[in-house]
Chains A and B, each alone.
Chain A
Amino acid sequence: MTLIPLGIPRRLLEFTIDGEPVRAPEGSTILDACRSVGKDVPTLCQGDTLTPKNACRVCVVEVEGSRTLVPACSRKAEAGMQVQTDSERARHSRKIVLELLASSVDLSTTPEVAGWLKEYEAKPDRFGPDAARLNEEPKVDNDLYVRDYDKCILCYKCVDACGDQWQNTFAISVTGRGFDARIAVEHDAPLTDSACVYCGNCIEVCPTGALSFKSEFDMRAAGTWDEPAQTETTTVCAYCGVGCNLTLHVQDNEIVKVTSPHDNPVTHGNLCIKGRFGYQHVQNRD
């Protein structure tokens, strides 16, 4: 289901992408415009429900007249702009950024990244065996979800989703700075001592699997997580009258995790603790 929001008609801007003339509504980003003409630019931290933070810099493109490369996910298109999405300069930066990331964090559960590493001929190993890595143990301090910051690329999406963009709980923030910057709750406490309300909206937006359902984490550890074998069923949450959509991920007739469609005009992928985690009663077979 894709809903087309009806807004005020917008002026069309004319500019070029890789030499081809393109028209895009005013206010679109370069990435929007690229996608509308079927060109994809790799992105990691960009999310469909959040204001882009443009922190990962994988989506940089070359814009004529700009001293540096610009992030396609957040730079608004302007009339007359000349954009190169695949120039040598942009490819070089993308390759290095992928190498820097893959050499410092575990990207094994990040979708698509393996393909990009190959496409851009990135060799994360060339920084040597002593290259600093996060090397952090997963934080398992509650029964609902696991924080594995060894996989965290610091995209800020969980912070934005927990904060003023969606949940308004403000339980998580970036702490420290530089390479030592981490996502943490107040006083770096366990999640159970924090302001977290376990809505799981941070898991919904996490692009790398750094935040995951405890169920998924345990099954991966046991080697029983089998994504291709899972079915997805979208239904309506039965807990209250709001009518949020739930997508049940089912493996071997058991619900293994719950997500929510991002194109739902009411919830945009957000749920509460009951919708996200309260599914055991469905499969209580006593």
Chain B
Amino acid sequence: MDLRFGDSKPTDEEREAVDALLGPPESSWEGADRSDADLRWARGGRAARERRDLLLPGLHAVNDRIGWISEGALDYLCRRLTVPPAEAYGVATFYAMFSVKPRPATVLHVCTDLACAAAGASELCAGVEARLGLGSGVSVERSPCLGLCERAPAALAVKAGDPVRTAVSAPATVERAVLAASSPDSAPEEPSAALAVPQAGQAGREELVLLSRVGVVDPASLDDYRAQGGYTALRQAFAIGPAGVIREVTDAGLVGRGGAAFPTGRKWQATASGPDRPHYLVCNADESEPGTFKDRVVMEGDPYSLVEAMTIAGYAVGAHKGYLYLRGEYPRALERMEHAIGQARARGLLGDDVLGQGYAFDIEMRRGAGAYICGEETALFNSIEGYRGEPRSKPPFPVEKGLFGKPTAENNVETLVNVLPILTMGAQAYAAIGTGKSTGPKLFCVSGSVDRPGIYELPFGATLGELLDLAGVRKRLRAVLLGGAAGGFVRPDELDIPLTFEGTREAGTTLGSGVVLAFDDTVPLPRLLLRIAEFFRDESCGQCVPCRVGTVRQEEALHRIVDRTGAEAASDIALLREVGRAMKDASICGLGQTAWNAVESAIDRLGAYE
């Protein structure tokens, strides 16, 4: 490899931002001034190239400090990491939160996705843009779901500098969003995570399993977490050994909560028995599905539970390193998780000798940068490794060749925190919750036209109607979107659908990631479908043709028929069906395969365009 780095030089500030992450360069071979000694030796080879996984943190470092990534900064980062500039440019342009063109230091991301759109995001955008025009020093960007659906509409201000400052405004008004953008430091603090859990204030709280500590425990205090029963599950894990943990998880019938519903015990068993070393654990906290915010609430309200659950999972699969990949739009969850990991490390609950049991495990955090596709497990690996977040083709599956080509168990936040009650209450007691095939408690993200939006925990088997009653569904319900943009719509007369994997499948829909978005009849359905199509067009990685072009053609057809019905829409609907079928059949990954689901269900079940 003979890399050419070009002539662009970083500014002092850019250089500082990179050096703050990587330390000062040692020789001219990685960007320092040339000394006589540099002419006599070369440093490079595998050791230098193996730091490529620091590319994404490096891009964040520059973007956080300056607000965008210049040629000089990118070339300097490439020199430091021995990464070809063309590839790094391809990575930098992949993520929505980075810019390779100059822009103001402050960016205000205004969410225009489903829940926020229903709560008036377009008026908010127009108002904010009118106030923050050219010369205001703020760049206003329309954003996909910010994961603040229970407080829609939402905006997130990011002001570059040292340190970078962020402010969330939700529910946002034009004034509050402008205030957050112009002075993030003086913006009012976000409400406590517990407010996203309406059950927290209600009777029957003791029945909550996964959310029992949210709002009760101090998210900053490890002692408080331990006083609330924290780390008993890890002790139990050490008592029964890795095989015992996998047996308990298998017996409990735990399946992945991210949408695919794959049996967790089987995944762990396959990873643990992989002959290749090392093994990795990856926690997927990149929930970007429009309407999903449960992982954020868990991480903000009960961060140590995730640290403990990751430690148990790592122990079970024989990993000594776990990566927590957190989406870039969650500044508070990032801060809380960083603090929790640091505390756990300082107290010997992470590190070389966890709990004095001779097991070494540590967690490294990775921040996403605005790409829904990175929630796909293999795209997430590529993103961590410093490549474009494009999904890999399977097989081989991650349990065989995952992160860095090694056996990897990847689970999302909700799946992992389920392991704690499995170990503390025992597999039998856990499996008794829910139904025979869908065991345990389930988190649902309810938003839209309801009085008490938020995260609800219910045992599998409750019906959609029961859940909506809890959340205070409003009159004149028109449709419910289950599973987010990749899920499907159901009608108001289908509220007796049991919320289980098998029940929703039988009803011809999906539980997905647990999104329940209610829309009353004030929400224009064709606009909503158009927004879903826009979302997929924006978020397609572009790797395979059915998804790259198909999502564009889908959006075009929906634009054509946005105000049409009946015979006028028929030919475009037929075209949509044909393209949708090929996307479902021939796309590389789940994004392209599900991009047509919601629209199809709206046509078939809701009679949109009739």
Contact = CB atoms under 8 A, between A and B. Distances in A.
Interface of A: 53-58, 60, 68-69, 71, 74, 76, 89, 92-93, 95-97, 100-101, 103-104, 126-128, 130-132, 153-154, 156, 163, 168-181, 184-188, 193-195
Given A172-B86, A179-B552, A193-B6, A92 B541 contact: no
A93 B546 CA distance: 9
A201 B55 CA distance: 28
A55 B550 contact: no
Contacts of B593: 68
B393 A195 contact: no
B544 A171 contact: no
A265 B553 CA distance: 43
21 contacts: A54-B544, A57-B546, A71-B393, A76-B395, A95-B582, A100-B545, A127-B557, A163-B87, A168-B2, A169-B2, A170-B1, A170-B87, A173-B87, A176-B93, A177-B388, A177-B541, A178-B539, A185-B89, A186-B88, A193-B6, A195-B85
B585 A68 contact: yes
B74 interface: yes
A71 B75 CA distance: 37
Given A55-B544, A56-B545, A93-B546, A175 B71 contact: no
A174 to B, nearest CB: 5
B559 to A, nearest CB: 9
Interface string B139-160: 0000000000000000000000
A262 B466 CA distance: 65
B570 interface: no
B542 A176 contact: yes
Contacts of B90: 173-175, 184
B545 A57 contact: yes
Interface stretch (B202-210, B226-234, B274-282, B573-581): B573-581
Contact of A93 (B542, B552, B560, B585): B585
A100 B544 contact: no
Nearest to B88: A186
Given A55-B543, A92-B582, A153-B545, A132 B552 contact: yes
Contact of A178 (B84, B100, B538): B538
A206 B541 CA distance: 21
A132 B553 CA distance: 8
Given A128-B560, A181-B542, A93 B551 contact: no
Nearest to A188: B89
A97 B588 CA distance: 13
B47 interface: no
Nearest to A156: B543
A281 B593 CA distance: 54
B556 interface: yes
A156 B579 CA distance: 23
Interface string B1-31: 1111010100000000000000000000000
A112 to B, nearest CB: 16
A58 B546 CA distance: 10
A171 B5 CA distance: 10
B546 A127 contact: no
B587 interface: yes
A186 B93 contact: no
B267 interface: no
A127 B549 CA distance: 11
A127 B543 CA distance: 21
Interface of B: 1-4, 6, 8, 71, 74-75, 84-90, 93-94, 100, 371, 373, 388, 393, 395, 537-546, 548-553, 556-557, 560, 575, 578-579, 581-582, 584-588, 593
B544 A187 contact: no
Contacts of B585: 60, 68-69, 89, 92-93
A132 B552 CA distance: 8
Contacts of B93: 175-177
B71 A187 contact: yes
Given A96-B586, A195-B84, 12 more contacts: A54-B544, A54-B588, A57-B546, A76-B395, A93-B581, A101-B545, A171-B4, A174-B90, A176-B542, A177-B371, A178-B552, A187-B89
A204 to B, nearest CB: 19
A76 B94 CA distance: 30
Nearest to B549: A100
Contact of B578 (A76, A89, A96): A96
B578 A54 contact: no
A92 B550 CA distance: 14
A178 B552 CA distance: 9
A156 B387 CA distance: 14
A100 B546 contact: yes
B393 A127 contact: no
A171 B538 CA distance: 26
A54 B160 CA distance: 39
A170 B49 CA distance: 14
A238 to B, nearest CB: 25
B89 A101 contact: no
A179 B549 contact: yes
Contacts of A97: 545-546, 582, 586
B100 A93 contact: no
A193 B539 CA distance: 31
Contacts of A93: 546, 581-582, 585-586
Contact of B89 (A60, A156, A181, A186): A186
A126 B584 CA distance: 20
Nearest to A168: B1
Contacts of B581: 92-93, 96
B84 A175 contact: no
Contact of A170 (B3, B538, B552): B3
Nearest to B579: A96
A163 B557 CA distance: 38
Given A55-B545, A92-B581, A131 B74 contact: no
B537 A178 contact: yes
Contacts of B89: 173, 175, 184-188
A101 B553 CA distance: 11
A95 B544 CA distance: 15
B9 to A, nearest CB: 14
Contacts of B551: 178-179
Contacts of B86: 170-173, 184-186, 194-195
B553 A92 contact: no
Nearest to B396: A76
B262 to A, nearest CB: 13
B404 to A, nearest CB: 15
| 5 residue pairs, one from A and one from B, having the closest CB atoms | A170-B84, A181-B542, A173-B90, A96-B582, A186-B85
A126 B543 CA distance: 24
Given A177-B540, A178-B537, A131 B578 contact: no
A100 B553 contact: yes
B582 A179 contact: no
Contact of B584 (A55, A57, A68): A68
A180 B371 CA distance: 14
Contacts of B542: 154, 174, 176-181
B96 to A, nearest CB: 9
A131 B553 contact: yes
A20 to B, nearest CB: 23
Contact of A131 (B1, B71, B395, B556): B556
A209 B548 CA distance: 20
Contacts of A184: 86, 89-90
Given A69-B586, A177-B541, A127 B556 contact: yes
A238 B522 CA distance: 76
Nearest to B538: A178
Contact of B94 (A89, A100, A128, A176): A176
A53 B543 CA distance: 9
A70 to B, nearest CB: 9
A84 B343 CA distance: 56
